[in-house]
Amino acid sequence: MVEYVFKTMRQIVDFVTKAMELIKREQVERMIEILVETYKSNGRSKILVMGAGRSGLVGRAFAMRLHHLGYNVYVLGDTIVPRIGERDVVIAISGSGSTKLIVTAAEAAKKVGAKVIAITSYPDSPLGRLADVVVEIPGRTKTKREEEDYFARQILGIHEPLAPLGTLFEDTAMIFLDGVAVELMHRLGKTEEDLRAMHANIEL
């Protein structure tokens, strides 16, 4: 009964645990440095978070935490998205790094001088190549190229993933970005009470 529920949960947990050891600390540090610098602009700099599909939902969750931390943050696709300029930062989330919508939007951001942070499994992808900072998050993406399946199976030791499509990347990225939010809390001297003060008090 319900054997796949718990097998899949275990596989995801094991994958994330192994992925933690593969994420490059220097990439994460550079991302954090940019976000701290952005915070210190006292609202003059904006952050635009973007991702398609489930990666977009991961991005929305991270954008909410950035808002709670006091950032001037927006999500691509929302009705209210301001003009982006050279002092601003774009965080683009794409496992494959080749999602056309995200690559096109990142290219537009680069043209106006914004910094682009790419969260992807493939630093040599179109998104990775144009980004100022790449944080490489291991994961099996939904693209069915052999080398992508090989990356997840061999490096992380998972041979026949139960989690379909981009689940492993999306879940790993979600947990990673939650960790980034906590790191920012400490570096910015924020408490949970500070975050609670920024939380919505009118909700549906």
What domains can be seen in the chain, in order of their start residue? 23-191 (3.40.50.10490)
pLDDT-derived band at 3, boundaries 50, 70, 90? confident
Provide the token pair at 128: 């990775």
Q: What is the mean pLDDT of residues 170-185?
A: 97
Contacts of 198-202 with CB under 8 Å at 24 or more apart are 198/67, 198/68, 198/69, 198/70, 199/68
Among 4-18, 21-35, 49-63, 85-99, the range scoring the smallest mean pLDDT is 4-18
pTM surpassing 0.85?
yes
Q: How many residues does this entry show for the chain? A: 204
Q: Which residues are catalytic?
A: 170
In angstroms, the Cα distances linking 121 to 36, 166, 201 are 24, 11, 37
Asked whether the CA dihedral 110, 137, 97, 46 is positive or negative, the reply is: negative
Could you read off the pLDDT of 59-81 as tens digits, one per residue? 999 999 999 999 999 999 999 99
pLDDT of residue 126: 96
Give the residues across from 135 on adjacent strands.
119
Closest CA to 128 of 116, 137, 118, 140: 118
